[in-house]
């Protein structure tokens, strides 16, 4: 079963939070504020925080900038995962993934099902990796952000979490790029 190994040091990661909304500003962005409070309470660093409109180009521009930024280890977006015409966050971000994290979506939906039942199927929460950066796409409700952080991300972004966690494999996320460089040289 999972546990915290107190003999290992806590290693803070740098997390960027993107809220996708046509109607929110930082002052009234409860979902983004929920994520920021939780990540800081856990000891991580807020690398950046922005709001983008429900537009593929706008969302993708922010995420591409952050995955190119070496000071960002993790990106968490909130909003735009439903089925309405303006819900385009997965369409904006998933094409950037080098690797999908299907298990993130599955575990998120399991946690969500226990709270909201079959309504969880209305979310297209997803996760992946791009340019050695973890990316998590969450629904726009504070409750969904709490569920994802408390139920998955808090543990997986803690180097002390056993038997394994995202932090311990961060140095190896871009191995395929390094091997490619070695073959060319």
pLDDT tens digits along 125-135: 999 999 999 99
Least-confidence region, from 49-53, 76-80, 127-131, 170-174: 170-174
Question: Is-contact 114 147, C-beta < 8 A?
Answer: no
Fold exhibited by the domain 10-184: Molybdenum Cofactor Biosythetic Enzyme; Chain A (3.40.980)
Question: Is-contact 90 58, C-beta < 8 A?
Answer: no
- Say how far apart CA 148 and CA 143 lie, in whole Å: 9
Q: Which residues pair with 51 in a beta bridge?
A: 19
Segments making up each domain of the chain, as ranges: 10-184
Give the confidence band of 1 by pLDDT, cuts at 50, 70, 90: confident
pLDDT tens digits along 16-63: 999 999 999 999 999 999 999 999 999 999 999 999 999 999 999 999
């Amino acid at each position: 079963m999972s546990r915290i190994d107190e003999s290992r040091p806590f290693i803070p990661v740098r997390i960027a939070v993107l809220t996708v909304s046509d109607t929110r500003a930082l002052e009234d962005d409860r979902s983004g504020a929920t994520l920021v409070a939780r990540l800081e309470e856990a000891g991580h660093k807020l690398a950046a925080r922005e709001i983008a409109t429900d537009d593929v180009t706008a969302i993708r521009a922010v995420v591409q900038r952050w995955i190119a930024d070496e000071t960002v280890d993790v990106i968490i977006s909130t909003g735009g995962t439903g089925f309405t015409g303006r819900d385009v966050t997965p369409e904006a971000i998933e094409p950037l993934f080098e690797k999908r994290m299907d298990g993130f979506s599955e575990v998120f939906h399991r946690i969500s099902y226990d709270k909201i039942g079959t309504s969880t199927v209305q979310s297209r929460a997803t996760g992946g990796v791009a340019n050695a950066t973890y990316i998590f796409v969450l629904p726009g409700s504070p409750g969904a952000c709490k569920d994802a952080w408390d139920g998955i991300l808090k543990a997986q972004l803690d180097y002390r979490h056993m038997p394994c966690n995202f932090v311990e494999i961060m140095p190896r996320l871009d191995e395929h790029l390094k091997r490619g460089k070695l073959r060319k040289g």
